[in-house]
Structure 1
Amino acid sequence: MKAIALFGITGLVSACLSLCNAQCLEKVSRSTNKKEYYQIVQLVGKKEFLSLSRIGEEKIFTYHNEEVELIFHVQMFTEIRFTTKDETFSLFTTTSDRNFWNKSFMLSSPVTPQELEKMKGTIKIEIILPEERKIYTFGSKSNVILNKALACVL
């Protein structure tokens, strides 16, 4: 009897985990060979977007832009400023990726569960680059998409 109950509980937990990850896109990371769960939030067209990803306990926020005019990005820190209903906070990236064979410009930053929670009420995101400032405003419809991405990695 105990074995049947244990099997049932294990099945229930497994189904819950599958349901939680069902809203996420999934791929195998080339660098670690582990499953990566991620979600994309479109900003402008298909060329500018955010992605939130999780590999195990590691959570990463990434800004992608295929049309940014910078050829090389050498700034020591790049600020990504979030404005929510309650507060303003920033993530800082120390690296950017841009090269001749990959036209996408990316800024990545590890995020904590507390920072992900703060992002839930996002009204505006500013990407502060050396030569320009990109500002993206979030209405209720786009905030639902952002919250779906946040739920994927939380």
Structure 2
Amino acid sequence: MLGVVGLLAGGGSSCFAQCKEMISPSNHKKVHYHTIQLADKKEYLTLSRTGGERILSYHNERIGLVYYTQMFIEIRFWTPQGRFSLYSAANDRSNWQPIFVLAAPVTPKELEKMKTVTKIEVMLPEDTKVFNVDAQKNALVNKAIACMH
């Protein structure tokens, strides 16, 4: 019964039934988002959409890095068709923020390429995080991509 209510609440569109929703505290607009676990609950990706803007974010609750200057960090996506990268600016982060977050805008064309992702690399200044994407995680990626339309 609850699943039927979720489908109906989504206005008949299956992509909204699987997306989470919240109201942005900064601009009071509706945000659709979906989270993809990478290693465990402390390391994950989020795809979010507010209107026509789509953002991919990498979250890591274990990294204690503090940046005092802006720097660019590469996030690589490996697919059977090749690889592509998104670039994120790591902004000044203070110790009172508990989660390290990188965010980059993502286009519909890049989302389409992500549907067959097999590996994700996050190129940090002092470390490279590599995540292999198995069939189960790829299904989560595709579910999140469906929320972005």
Please give the TM-score of this superposition, normalised by the length of structure 2: 0.87
**Partner of residue 128 from structure 2, selected from 121, 125, 133:** 133
2:100 equivalent in structure 1: 105
* Residues 28-81 of structure 1, C-alpha deviations (whole Å, 9 max, x = no match): 011110100000001122100000000000000000001124233645211000
Which residue identity is paired with 1:77? F
Kept after mapping to 2: 8 A contact 1:80/1:92: yes
Q: Any gaps of 5 or more consecutive residues in structure 1?
A: 1-13
Q: Distance in 2 between matches of 1:118 and 1:73?
A: 33
Q: Distance in 2 between matches of 1:49 and 1:96?
A: 19
Indicate the larger mover: 121-130 or 73-82: 73-82
1:20 equivalent in structure 2: 15
1:29 corresponds to 2:30: no
Q: Distance in 2 between matches of 1:49 and 1:149?
A: 12
Deviation at 1:99, TM superposition (A): 2.2
Q: Any gaps of 5 or more consecutive residues in structure 2?
A: 1-9
Deviation at 1:21, TM superposition (A): 0.8
Indicate the larger mover: 110-119 or 93-102: 93-102
Indicate the larger mover: 144-153 or 91-100: 91-100
Please give the TM-score of this superposition, normalised by the length of structure 1: 0.85
**How many residues are matched?**
140
1:62 corresponds to 2:54: no
**Partner of residue 116 from structure 1, selected from 111, 116, 133:** 111
Which residue identity is paired with 1:117? E
1:40-119 matches, within 5 Å, as 40-72=35-67, 74=69, 76-96=71-91, 98-119=93-114
Q: Distance in 2 between matches of 1:128 and 1:37?
A: 27
Kept after mapping to 1: 8 A contact 2:70/2:92: no
Shift in CA distance, 145/73, structure 1 to aligned 2, threshold 3 Å: farther
Kept after mapping to 1: 8 A contact 2:88/2:102: yes
Kept after mapping to 2: 8 A contact 1:97/1:107: no
Which residue identity is paired with 2:129? K
